Amino acid sequence: MNETLNISGKHIAVFGAGRSGVAAAALALREGAKVSMWDQGNMEVFKNVPADVEIHTNLTISDAENFVADIIVLSPGIDTYSPLVQAFSAKTFLMGETEFASRFYKGGIIGITGTNGKTTTTELVARILKGAGKGGTPCGNYGMPLSEVVLASDVPSAVSLELSSFQLETIHTLHPNVSIWLNFAPDHMDRYPTVEAYKNAKLRIFENQTADDTAIVRYGEELGKIAPKALTFSTESRDADFYSDGKTIIHRGNAILDLEVKTALRGLHNAENAMAAIAACLAYGIEKEVIMHALEGYAPPPHRCELVRTLDGVEYLNDSKATNLHALQCAIRSQSRPVVLIAGGKDKGLDYSEVIPYLQKQVLEVITFGEIAHSLAYLFGTVVPCSTFTTLEQAIHQARSVAPRGSTILLSPGTSSFDQFKGYEHRGNVFREIVQQLH
């Protein structure tokens, strides 16, 4: 159980006027606090803010000089390493929106973190919890902010809480009953000073767990000593508590789920997501029969190895959600057909040489585009044929021209999309539209 917080009559300063910040402000008002909201934008960004909130526009470091508040509640999109946040947090106790909301939530928490697979796993856990009659609202980094869940008229008895490293940076007492550690790979090096800093932020998911709690961990992950008892899953080692070949899930020697018959989940990475969700819900006390029934017919969210169409014997897969190296590696590894890969986007300062062994095993050719097109082609061209284009549309047409019947054209960029698109959803939607127009 998370520590409760009495903020009646206290001054709560919310930083960030987005959805999470607005929800935190509304929750603080409900709990009797005086609330101010601060953002670097102008009045336009405050249009959804509750009427009783004191508004401060165009936030700068100089505002810290005379700043007074009891608690700062930070939205997850604001960089805690920034000089701005450092200036304010030096004077005032700071917590993230998810931590703040958890102080007013009395239900059970299954917390999910990892570099890749969080959203699918969060959806699976939520689906199972709902099937068990526990509500199971997906929230946190995916779905709605936890503050919105706490404000709801019908608060669920358990939540599926996706936790990014950004949210975990700013916890203090957040305590999942069951935690899930899906995987770890370098990411967000444009925010974190070192890979260790990024990993340490994620490891905080275990910080407040005890020996009475459970951690669901990918077999072979190096986590150091953690307090909760661990259950493992793997697509590589049968020594794990849960094992899958990508088609069947086996729990301690017994087959419990045929993914291809019962669900639309495909690939080894989705098998890992399913195993993690099943293990977590079993640990939470949900019956196996309830879990299996809840998973029947499940299809993963868009932009995650989504089959767009098959044309001239070639599959077109939209994996625009692959915004880092590990996601790209997983996407390639999970394919059973030869791959023509479309990759590229914003330069995030990642070391793409780690992808080369996967290219050698599975990829016929790489088509690069976007800001890092030339540097990727220079590196990947040492092991497979590469060509470079400016736009995604050009890359798709080139991929079609070289992809043989029986192969897969895979959009798995391996980086974020902000050089050309509003986000990975926008990029994936454009890919889908272009592919659907091919004839």
DSSP class per residue in 370-424: STTHHHHHHHHTTTS-EEEESSHHHHHHHHHHHPPTT-EEEE--SS--TTTSSSH
Query: pLDDT at residue 186 above 80?
Result: no
Residues 100, 305: Cα–Cα separation, whole Å: 35
> Any idea which of 139-153, 180-194, 350-364 has the lowest mean pLDDT?
180-194
Residues 39, 177: Cα–Cα separation, whole Å: 34
> Any idea which of 186-190, 218-222, 299-303, 326-330 has the lowest mean pLDDT?
186-190
Between the CA of residue 76 and those of 136, 146, 332, what are the distances in Å?
22, 12, 30
Which pLDDT belongs to residue 21? 96
pLDDT of 80-94, one tens digit each? 888 999 999 998 999
Which pLDDT belongs to residue 392? 96
Give the list of residues 6+ apart from residue 79 with CB closer than 8 angstroms, or none.
85, 191
Instruction: Identify whether the C-beta of residue 111 lies closer than 8 Å to the C-beta of residue 161.
Output: yes
> Any idea which of 23-37, 288-302, 322-336 has the lowest mean pLDDT?
322-336
Q: What CATH code is assigned to 11-100? A: 3.40.50.720
Residues 66, 409: Cα–Cα separation, whole Å: 57
pLDDT of 282-294, one tens digit each? 999 999 999 999 9
Average pLDDT of the segment spanning 130-156: 96
Which pLDDT belongs to residue 330? 84
The token pair that represents 347 in the structure block: 């330069």
Query: pLDDT at residue 71 above 60?
Result: yes
Instruction: Identify whether the C-beta of residue 249 lies closer than 8 Å to the C-beta of residue 267.
Output: no
Judging by DSSP bridges, how do beta strands 248-251 and 254-258 pair with one another?
Answer: antiparallel
Average pLDDT of the segment spanning 201-229: 96
Which pLDDT belongs to residue 349? 83
Residues 65, 221: Cα–Cα separation, whole Å: 44
Residue indicated by tokens 């044309």: 311
Residue indicated by tokens 């899953």: 233
pLDDT of 262-275, one tens digit each? 987 877 888 999 99
Q: Please tell me which residue, 304 or 70, carries the higher pLDDT value.
A: 70
Q: What CATH code is assigned to 306-437? A: 3.90.190.20
Query: pLDDT at residue 161 above 90?
Result: yes
Which pLDDT belongs to residue 268? 83
Cβ neighbours around 268 below 10 Å, total = 18
- Band the pLDDT of 187: cuts 50, 70, 90: low
- Band the pLDDT of 126: cuts 50, 70, 90: very high
Burial profile 396-408: b = 16 or more Cβ within 10 angstroms, e = fewer = bebbbeebeeebb
Helices 268-283, 325-333: inter-axial angle, 10-degree rounding: 110
Query: pLDDT at residue 43 above 80?
Result: yes
Average pLDDT of the segment spanning 297-316: 87
Which pLDDT belongs to residue 178? 98
Residues 257, 283: Cα–Cα separation, whole Å: 17
Give the list of residues 6+ apart from residue 66 with CB closer than 8 angstroms, or none.
none
Which pLDDT belongs to residue 130? 97
Instruction: Identify whether the C-beta of residue 314 lies closer than 8 Å to the C-beta of residue 401.
Output: no
Query: pLDDT at residue 331 above 80?
Result: yes
- Band the pLDDT of 147: cuts 50, 70, 90: very high
3-state secondary structure of 93: strand
Burial profile 198-209: b = 16 or more Cβ within 10 angstroms, e = fewer = bbebbbbbbebb
pLDDT of 410-434, one tens digit each? 999 999 998 899 999 999 999 999 9
Amino acid (one-letter) located at 218: R
Residues 317, 330: Cα–Cα separation, whole Å: 13
Query: pLDDT at residue 189 above 70?
Result: no
CATH label, 105-295, candidates 3.50.50.60, 3.40.50.10490, 3.40.1190.10, 3.10.110.10 = 3.40.1190.10
Instruction: Identify whether the C-beta of residue 255 lies closer than 8 Å to the C-beta of residue 248.
Output: yes
What residues does each domain of the chain span?
A: 11-100, 105-295, 306-437
Query: pLDDT at residue 279 above 70?
Result: yes
Nearest to 352 by CA among 137, 184, 204, 185: 185
Amino acid (one-letter) located at 113: T
